[in-house]
Each structure stands twice: as C-alpha cells, then as structure tokens.
Chain A
Amino acid sequence: MMELDTDKIIFTGPVGAGKTSAIAAISDAPPVSTDVMCTGNERNIKDTTTVAMDYSYIKLDDSNRIHLFGTPGQERFSFMWDILTRGGLGLVLLINNDHPNPIAQMDLYLDAFSNFIEETGVVIGITRTGIHDKVGIEQYQQHLFSRNQIYPVFEIDGRSTDDIKILLQALLTVLDYQ
C-alpha cells in the first residue's frame, strides 16, 4: 500500500481549477485519478470530479521520487485535505478565475490549509484568465497584501508544463529561503 506521509507536493483548489491537468502536465507518469461523474451544480463546470485524490510522481533518480497529490475539490471531501498534506513539502493552490467569486475561494483554501502553509509554503496559480476578466491578477495581489500574505500568485494555463514549472520554481525558492 502506498505511504501517504512521503515526500510530496500537494495540489489543491476548487472543482474545475485544473489540479488534475496541472499534475499531468508536470509528472513522469499519467496521473491515477479517482474520478466520478459530477452531480449537482458542478456539472456546469465539468463532467467528472475527483473524490479521493489524484496521484502521480516526478522521478528524481533511481531511488527518489517527489509524489504529486491532488486533493478533491469539493468541500465535502475536505477531510482528505489534512490526510494528504501530512508530511508534505509544500502546497500548490489553483483557483479558477471563471468562478463567480474566485477571491473568496482563494480565502477559503488559504484558511483551510493555513497550518500547513505556515509550516511549509504555498504558490497560487490562477487558471482560465483572459484580457476581459472581471477579476484581474492585480485584485488577487491586492487581496493577498491586505491579508499580509504576499505569496507568489501567477496567471497560468493548467495544461502548460512551462507555467507549472514556474509555479514549482517559486515554491522551491520559498521553501529554500525559509
């Protein structure tokens, strides 16, 4: 059985933020997903949703791996969030900019994972952005400043390997300079 308390980076965020795609973009093996068909309002966002975790890894050498875990997005599975973060190296929080209130979503996850973030670090990726957005990157920046939490926050395409690499580069630097 796979150990959960291993060297891992956690990807979290609401339904449809792009966690599964982001893990797939960066990992060495296709992610193992525990997806089921969406019911209720989430059906407007996507067809399937993760109910336990996504899993994949990055191979460092013959004996070392960094494990990548994606948390389920629905809040009713939030009991998994604590389990998955145990022993983790850091957090990647993805927020869907198309959500009616994406900044409130960001607050929810920053608060839910506050202990883990305090012990490790977090980077924030904003997905589904465009020129005519209602909420621009500046609003996320200003909101984080008002919380006195000046975390890296970048616009990303969750399918882009380069964008996910930049997110991870920021996370690694934050962890290195603790």
Chain B
Amino acid sequence: MTISSLGLTDIDQQVLQVASKILAEENCRFMLSNNCDASVNIVIIDHDHLQSHDFLTQVNNEQITILYTNEDIKRKNLVALQKPVRVNTLKDVLLKAYLHLRAQQQYTNKARTSEENAAGNSMTSTANTENLFHLLLKTKQNRECLRINYPEQITLLINAVDRAAATNMDSANLHKLFDYPLENCDNHNISPETFNQQDPSFKLHTLDNLLWLAALHLSSGELLPGHCTDTPVRLKAWPNFTRQGFKPVYFKLATMLARKSMSLCELAEQTKTSITDVINFYNAAFAIDLIETNNAVSNMPKRKTMKNTNKSTLLDMLAKRLRIG
C-alpha cells in the first residue's frame, strides 16, 4: 500500500513516519511515495495548503483521502481529521484504511477469478489462490466429502456430513498437510460410505479441530473473503483450547469477544493485539461456527466488581508461577 502527502508540516511528516512504523510492526506495511497522484492508495492532505483544493477535485474513487482540517467536510472515501493530528489518531485511521483497501483488493481478485472461470479458463476452481483452509471450509459449508491425495501416499479424507476427518499422516506432523501446495495434490469428491471404509491405520480427527488448526496456520492475517473488520461480531462460545491449540493472546481475545459485540479493529485496539493475530483467531473461530454477527444478541450482563489491585498482583504472580499468560 502506498501513501503520499501534500502540504504536511515537518512535524506532521514525522507523525506520519512514526504511525507507519508502528503499523509495520503489526504487518500493515505502507510505502511512503513522493508522487501525489492517482497511482497512490492513500493521500494525506493539509487543507490549508494552496494546492489542496485543486488536488481534491482530482482524487479518484479508489483512493482514500485523509484531510487535515478543522472544517466539517464529508465525502466518500475521505476522512477529515482535526489538526493537530496525533500519532495514535493517524495510526488508527491508517489501519482502517489499510484493511478497507485490502478487503477491496481481495474482492476484486475473487471477482476476476470468477470471470475467468466463467470465460472457460482452464484453471480449476481457485487452486492457485486457495489453500487447505479455504478448501476445508468450502467442503464443510457444502456438506461434501472429499479425498485429498498428497505425495508420498499421504491421504486426507474429509466427511463434512459427519464432521469428521481421517488421515494416515501422524498427528505430530499434521502441519505438513497445511504447508503442501494444493495445486500439487489431487482432490476429488467421495461418498460418506467411502469415507467410512478408510484403512484402519487412518487416524480420526474432528473436522472442526482440523479447520481450527488450518485457519491458524494458513490465515497469515488475511481475513476471509466477504468479511469485514468493521462489522461487530461476538463469540457464541469459547474455543475448546485444551484440544484445539492456542496462543496465549487468544485468551484475551476470547474474553473480550465473549462478553460483548465489537469489530475486529476495536478488539485489536482494546486488547493491544496485532490485527494479524485478531484476524487469524477470527477466521478460526468463524470456521468452527463460534462467531455471531446478529446484533440482536444481547451482550453478557456487566460484572459487579471493581478491580482489586492486591488481587491483580496475586493473579499476576500465579500466572508467572504456573508459567502461563
């Protein structure tokens, strides 16, 4: 993603650089460009600059404009920020812009793929862009049964009707199934009866456990297509961490999202977690039907107690003692 600026003061330029650096640490990388034209994704303009008014008339619909102004200006794809603009304010706006633009790009890519397939392109399904997580999720949503043949006679069987999976890959090396490029595997639909006739040496897993692992392993901070980081969501249930694997930060995410609806951006902000971790967690929770987007579902009742500092210290010591958290 590229950012350019017009008319910013030296201090504003420094604020921009600091905000970009913080976001880079969360895998949201921007390239600061000297070209202030239609080719950049985001333009930051000081409204008091002489050329700003002319430039605003040239901005195209696919660009996001961040305008430093004390006037009340509303326009599509334009965010007005009151001067002086602080690092945290700019960082939050840039993060939202980044996610919005990335979602747009994913949507455009998916639409282009569908068009190419409809035109009779020889590419089968979305083999070049799809990974095992996407394939498993699609299989689950379509309630299909699938056989995936990997090299070296490794096989993965999926039964979305009974929500089961079976494989002759040993459990300790299950992650290798996720790493292998799908385009080098042969996969085809099977019947539930064929699934049940699997070799006795195959190990059974629940489909949800496999989906959870695949999502965490393969999401890499990319939100599922069609999902938005601004939509309020809530957990319907805690993931079964003892059997499904976790990172310590997921406990915070689950605590907040189980308690009340919020967007993924808000969740990242309130828990001070990277958006990558939030998205990976969200994708995994969504894949195993733990996400609720119905805003009619009421939040959990507010809790009675105030935080006790002595108890907090004690709990921190317990976490360290058990080497958790």
Contact = CB atoms under 8 A, between A and B. Distances in A.
Interface of A: 7, 26, 58-61, 64, 66, 89, 118-120, 131, 137, 141-142, 144-145, 148-156, 162-163, 165-170, 172-178
B307 A169 contact: no
Interface in B243-268: 243, 246, 248, 251-252, 254-256, 258-259
Contact of A148 (B238, B300, B318): B300
A155 B240 contact: yes
A131 B164 CA distance: 11
Given A58-B322, A118-B304, A176 B238 contact: no
Q: Which 4 A-B pairs have the closest CB atoms?
A: A141-B237, A150-B258, A173-B251, A154-B242
Contacts of B256: 177
A169 B248 contact: yes
A150 B251 contact: no
A155 B242 contact: yes
Contacts of B242: 154-156, 162-163, 166-167
Contacts of A148: 298, 300-301
A162 B324 CA distance: 10
Q: Which of A89, A149, A174, A178 has the most CB of B within 10 A?
A: A178
Given A175-B315, A177-B256, 15 more contacts: A7-B314, A60-B317, A60-B321, A89-B315, A119-B305, A148-B298, A150-B258, A153-B237, A154-B243, A155-B240, A155-B242, A168-B324, A169-B251, A172-B318, A177-B252
Given A150-B237, A150-B258, A172 B324 contact: yes
Given A60-B314, A177-B252, A170 B305 contact: no
Contacts of B301: 118, 148
Contacts of B307: 178
Given A150-B237, A173-B251, A89 B314 contact: yes
A170 B303 contact: no
Given A148-B298, A177-B256, A168 B240 contact: no
Nearest to A152: B238
B314 A64 contact: yes
Contacts of B311: 7, 89, 175
Interface string B294-324: 0000101101110100011011011101101
A172 B241 contact: no
B254 A152 contact: yes
B150 to A, nearest CB: 24
A169 B324 contact: yes
11 contacts: A58-B318, A58-B321, A89-B314, A118-B301, A131-B204, A149-B300, A163-B242, A166-B242, A169-B325, A170-B238, A178-B305
Contacts of B300: 148-150
Q: Which of A59, A170, A173 has the most CB of B within 10 A?
A: A173
Given A7-B311, A150-B300, A165 B236 contact: no
Given A60-B318, A89-B315, A120-B305, A154 B240 contact: yes
B235 interface: yes
B191 to A, nearest CB: 22
A93 to B, nearest CB: 14
A177 B273 CA distance: 14
A97 B184 CA distance: 43
A103 to B, nearest CB: 14
B319 to A, nearest CB: 5
B243 A155 contact: yes
Nearest to A141: B237
B238 A168 contact: no
A170 B258 contact: no
Contacts of B258: 150-151
B60 to A, nearest CB: 43
Contacts of B255: 173-174, 176-177
A119 B304 contact: yes
Contacts of A173: 251-252, 254-255, 325
Contact of A150 (B238, B241, B303, B314): B238
Interface string B175-204: 000000000000000000000000000001
Contacts of A152: 238, 241, 254
A146 to B, nearest CB: 10
A169 B204 CA distance: 29
A175 B259 CA distance: 12
